[in-house]
Chains A and B, each alone.
Chain A
Amino acid sequence: DQQVKQNSPSLSVQEGRISILNCDYTNSMFDYFLWYKKYPAEGPTFLISISSIKDKNEDGRFTVFLNKSAKHLSLHIVPSQPGDSAVYFCAASLNTGFQKLVFGTGTRLLVSP
C-alpha cells in the first residue's frame, strides 16, 4: 500500500507555460514534504521542501503548495523551461526518529520548446 502517490506518470508542457505536478499522501502523521528531481543517468537531487506548518513555499520558479486537509501537495514550475524536463519525485517524512523518507513513483515532465 503506497503512502505517497503520484498518479500521473507523465506530463507534457510547452516552454513558458506552468507545470503542475501533483502528489497525494495517506498518512496524516507526515509533517515534512520534499520534491526531488532526477535526470537520466543521475541520482535524484533535492529541489524544494515544505513543513506541515506552512501551506506554501517558494524558491524562484518553483513553488510547493500543501493542502493538509486534502492530504495533497503540488509543485508548480513557472515558467517551465526545457531544462526542467526530468522525473520529479515527491517524498514525505515523519518528524520523529531518523530520516525515513517515503517516496512516490515519480512523474516524468517533458517541457517542449
Chain B
Amino acid sequence: ETGVTQTPRHLVMGMTNKKSLKCEQHLGHNAMYWYKQSAKKPLELMFVYSLEERVENNSVPSRFSPECPNSSHLFLHLHTLQPEDSALYLCASSPEVATNEKLFFGSGTQLSVL
C-alpha cells in the first residue's frame, strides 16, 4: 500500500463506548497529524506528532487521546464522546514538522456519536 491509510472508514458509537481510529503512512514521513472536519467548518488541527513525540495539542478535550507508537502509525483513542464530536477525522503526514510542507491526507473516518 502507498500513501496514508485510515481505518475504519465509518464508525458509529454510543456516548459510553470506547473506540480507536487508526492511521498508517507508507511515505517515510516523520510528522503525523490528526484533523477534525465538522460540517460547514474549516479543518481543525487537533494533534501533531514529530518522530513519535507530540509537538502540538490544540486544546482538544481529554476524551480524545492520541498515540503514536512509531513514525508510521498514529491512533486516536475515543471515549465518552458527545454527539457534537460527530465529524470527519482526517489523518495526515508530511516529511517534516515545518511550514511549507504539503500535507498528505488519508481518506478519513466518518464518525457518528449517538
Is chain B found bound to chain A in the same assembly? yes
Q: Are A105 and B98 in contact (CB under 8 A)?
A: no
Q: Are B107 and A96 in contact (CB under 8 A)?
A: no
Contacts of A28 in B (CB 8 A): none
Q: Are A103 and B43 in contact (CB under 8 A)?
A: yes
Q: Are B107 and A99 in contact (CB under 8 A)?
A: no
Is the contact region of chain A dominated by helix, strand, or loop, or is it mixed? loop
Nearest B residue to A51 by beta-carbon distance? Answer: B100
> Considering only CB atoms and an 8 Å cut-off, how many residues of chain B contact the other chain?
30
Band of interface residues on A? 20 to 34
Q: Is B27 an interface residue (CB 8 A)?
A: no
Known: A95-B99, A99-B98. A105 touches B41 (CB 8 A): yes
Query: Closest approach, in angstroms, between the C-beta of A29 and any C-beta of chain B?
Result: 12
Chain A residues packing against B (C-beta within 8 Å):
2, 4, 9, 32, 34, 36, 41-46, 49, 51, 89, 93-106
